[in-house]
Amino acid sequence: MNEEIRQENLDMSVPDADMKQRADRFRTGGFAAVIYAVVTTICLYKNAYGIMTVLFAAATIGFLYYVCSHAPQSKAYDNREDKTSNPHTMIYYIGILLLGVSTFLTADRFLITCNYIGIYLLSMTVFFTCFCDADKWGVGKYIRAVLGAVFSPLGYLFRGFSDCYVYVKLREKKKSKAIYVLVGVLIALPFLVLMLIVLSQADAIFKYIVDRSIGNLRLSGNLAGFVMMLVAVFIIVYGIFCKMVIQPPKIECEEKRMVEPMIGITFCGLLTALYAVFAVIQILSPFLGKQMLPAGYSYSEYARQGFFQLLFVAAVNLVIVLVCNRAFAESCVLRTILTVMCGCTYVMIGSSAVRMLMYIQAYRLSYLRVLVLFALIVLIALFTGTIIYLYKNTFPLMKYMIFVCGGLYIAFAFSHPDTYVMRFNLACARGEVQMWLDADVSTEEIEVRLADEIAYMEERSADTTPAVFEFVDWAQARGIWTDENDDWQISNLLSYHSEMCTSRRGVRTFNVSTYRGKAALESYLEN
C-alpha cells in the first residue's frame, strides 16, 4: 500500500518538476527574449542601417550576456561553484558592437548584409562557447552546429508561448502581482498606439516631434508588420535559447585517426606533384614574359581566364589539407606532403593576385575585384593557421579562424570599399579626360566616352556620393556636361543620389553615409 502511494506521488511530481523547469527556463530566457525582440523591432523595422543598429548590437550583447550568466546549463553561470569564466567571449562582444557601428557608417547593402550575418555567427559562437565545449570542435563541427542553429527555432516554434503559459500558471499559485502588471502592459499597448496616432493628428508640433523621433515608422500603416516582426524575433531568439539549454550540439569525443596514411600519401603526393610543376611555371612566367603567352592572348585576357580557376583550386586545397590531417593516422611523410601542398597553394594565391592586378590595370577596379582580392588575403591567413595546425594538433584552429577572419572582415567593412573603388576609377577617369582635353577632343565626344562612367555612378551606394559629385563638379569646370541639351545625364545622376541620401529622415534612421552624401549634394548644388 505504501509503495503504491509513493509511486502515485512520484508520478504526480514528474509533471510538476517539468512545469517548474519550463517556468525557470522562461524566467531566465523568456523575458530577456521579449525585451530583446521589442528593442530589435524598434531598432530595425524598416531601418536596416540607421543609428539604431548600434543599439541593436548593444542589445544583442546584453541579451547574450544575461542568458549566458543566468542559465544553469551555461559555463558562465553566476551561481556555479566552479564557475568557468570565458574571457575570450569579450572579443566576440566587441566584434558584434563593431559590426553594428560599421552598419551605421555605411549604406553599402552588401556590407550591411554581411554585417548582420557576422553578428549572427558571433552570437552563435558565444552560445557555443558557454553551452558547449566549442574549444574542442573542428571546422566541420562548427559549421554543422551553426547550420543546426539556423533551423533550431523550427523545433521549438511555440515553446515560447507554452513556457510563458506554464510560468503564468505557476505564478498565479504564488499570488504574485507581477502577472497582473504584465497583463496591464499588454492591454495598454494598443491604446498607447491608438492615442499616439490620434494626438499626432490633433497637434502639428506633437506630430512633428513624433515623426522626427520614429522616422519612417508610421504606426497607423505598419502596426501589423511591426507586431509580426516582433513575434518572429521572439520565436527565433527563444527557440535558439531553448536549443542551447535543452539539447545543445553534442560534444563528440576526439576521433582516433585510424585510416591508413598510405592512402593519403598517394592521393596527396600525386596532387602535390602536379601543383609543384604548376607552381614552377607560375614562378618563371613573370621572367619569361610574353614568350609564355599563347598566340592571340593579351595579359588581361590571360589574367581573367586563370584567376577564378586558381581561386577555386586554393579553396579546394584548404579542404583537402584539413580533411587529410583529420582522417589519416599520424605520418611524417604525409605531413611533409601536405606542407608542400600548402606551399604550392601560396604560389597559386600569389599568381592569382598578380593576375587580378594585371586585369585591374587594364580594366580598372570593380567591387567584385576588390572582394576577390580580399578573399585571397583571407586564404593566406587560413593556410597559415592550417600549417601551424599540421605540426601542433592542440592549436585552436577554429578559434584562430574566427578571430582572424572576423578581424579581417571588420577592417574591410570599415574601409568602405565602395568608396575606394569609385575614387580609384574616377581618378583614372580624370587622367583620361585631361589627356583628351590636351588632345583637343571635343566635349561632346568626351561625354560619349564617359557614358560608362555615368552608368556606373548610377549603380553604387550613397557611400560614393561625395566622390561622384566631386568628379562631376571637376568635369563641369572644364566644360563637360554643361550644355543644357546634355544636362539630362547629370539630372538623372542627381535624382538617383538624392533619392538615396535624402529619403532617410528622423533620428531613428540617421546614417553617416547618407548624411555625408546629402552634404555633398548640397555643396554641389550651391556651386
Residue 291 pLDDT: 46
Distance CA 227, CA 231 (A): 6
How confident is the model at residue 306, as a pLDDT?
62
Residue 256 lies inside a defined structural domain of this protein? no
Predicted local confidence at residue 247, as pLDDT: 80
Same domain, 399 and 485: no
| Shared-domain flag, residues 24 and 166 | yes
What pLDDT is recorded for position 8?
44
Q: Which residues are CB-contacts of 126 (< 8 A; sequence separation ≥ 6)? A: 64, 68, 89, 92, 93
Q: In sequence order, what DSSP letters do the residues of 423-471 get, joined into one string? A: HHHHHHHHHHHHHHHHTT--HHHHHHHTHHHHHHHTTS-GGGHHHHHHH
**Is there a single domain that holds both residue 224 and residue 345?**
no
Cβ proximity of 303 and 359 under 8 Å = yes
Q: Cα–Cα distance between 476 and 479 in angstroms, integer?
A: 5
**Residue 408's pLDDT is what?**
95
What does the alpha-carbon distance between residue 111 and residue 511 come to, in Å, rounded to a whole number?
14
Q: Are residues 378 and 393 in the same domain?
A: yes
Total domains, the chain: 3
Q: DSSP character for 259?
A: B
CA 342 to CA 183: how far, in whole Å?
62
The verdict on 165 and 280 lying in the same domain is no
Shared-domain flag, residues 405 and 424: no
Domain closes at, from 246, 278, 307: 246
pLDDT at 103: 95
**259 phi and psi, to 5 degrees?**
-70, 140
- Residue 7, pLDDT score: 47
Give the model's pLDDT for residue 52: 92
Position 12 in a domain: yes
The pLDDT value given to residue 50: 87
What pLDDT shows up at residue 372? 86
3-state secondary structure 502-521: HCCCCCCCCCHHHHHHHHHH
Is the same domain home to 228 and 285? no
- Residue 427: give the domain boundaries: 418-526
- What are 320's three cell numbers? 583537402
Residues 35 and 150 reside in one and the same domain = yes
Q: Are residues 370 and 424 in the same domain?
A: no
**In a shared domain, residues 363 and 280:** yes
Q: Which pLDDT value is given to residue 290?
A: 46
Whether 42 maps to a domain, the answer reads yes
CA distances (Å), 114 to each of 120, 152, 403, in order? Answer: 10, 21, 16
**Cα–Cα nearest to 252, from 149, 390, 133:** 133
Q: What is the DSSP letter of 289?
A: G
- pLDDT at residue 381 in the model: 92
Does any domain span residue 174? yes
The predicted pLDDT at position 254 comes to 53
Q: At what angle do helices 159-173 and 219-246 cross, to 10 degrees?
A: 80
What confidence score (pLDDT) does residue 489 get? 77
Dist CA 99 CA 184 (whole Å): 37
Residue ending a domain, among 393, 415, 437, is 415
Position 498: which residue type?
S
Question: Does one domain contain both 335 and 216?
Answer: no
Answer yes or no: is 252 within a domain.
no
Q: What string of pLDDT tens digits covers the 527 residues of the chain? A: 445 444 444 444 445 677 778 888 888 888 899 899 989 998 998 888 889 999 999 999 999 999 988 888 888 776 555 444 455 688 999 999 999 999 999 999 999 999 999 999 999 989 888 888 777 777 777 888 888 777 777 777 777 777 777 777 776 655 556 556 665 665 666 667 667 767 776 767 777 676 666 554 554 456 667 778 888 898 889 888 888 888 877 655 555 556 788 888 888 889 989 988 888 887 776 544 444 556 666 656 665 666 677 778 888 888 888 888 878 888 889 889 999 999 988 988 888 888 788 788 878 888 988 998 998 899 899 999 999 988 888 888 888 999 999 999 999 999 999 999 999 999 999 999 999 998 888 888 888 888 888 888 888 889 999 999 999 999 888 888 887 655 677 888 888 888 888 877 677 888 999 999 999 998 888 87
Does residue 314 lie in a domain region? yes
Among candidates 41, 97, 42, which has minimal Cα distance to 65? 97
Asked, for residue 195, whether it belongs to a domain, the answer is: yes
Instruction: Indicate the residue among 216, 246, 276 that finishes a domain.
Output: 246
Give the separation between CA 259 and CA 272, rounded to whole angstroms: 20
Indicate whether 255 belongs to any domain: no
* Whole-angstrom distance, CA of residue 177 vs CA of residue 519: 53
Same domain? For 445 and 408 the reply is: no
**What is the rounded CA–CA span in Å between residue 348 and residue 354?**
10
Query: Tell me, what's the pLDDT at 466?
Result: 93
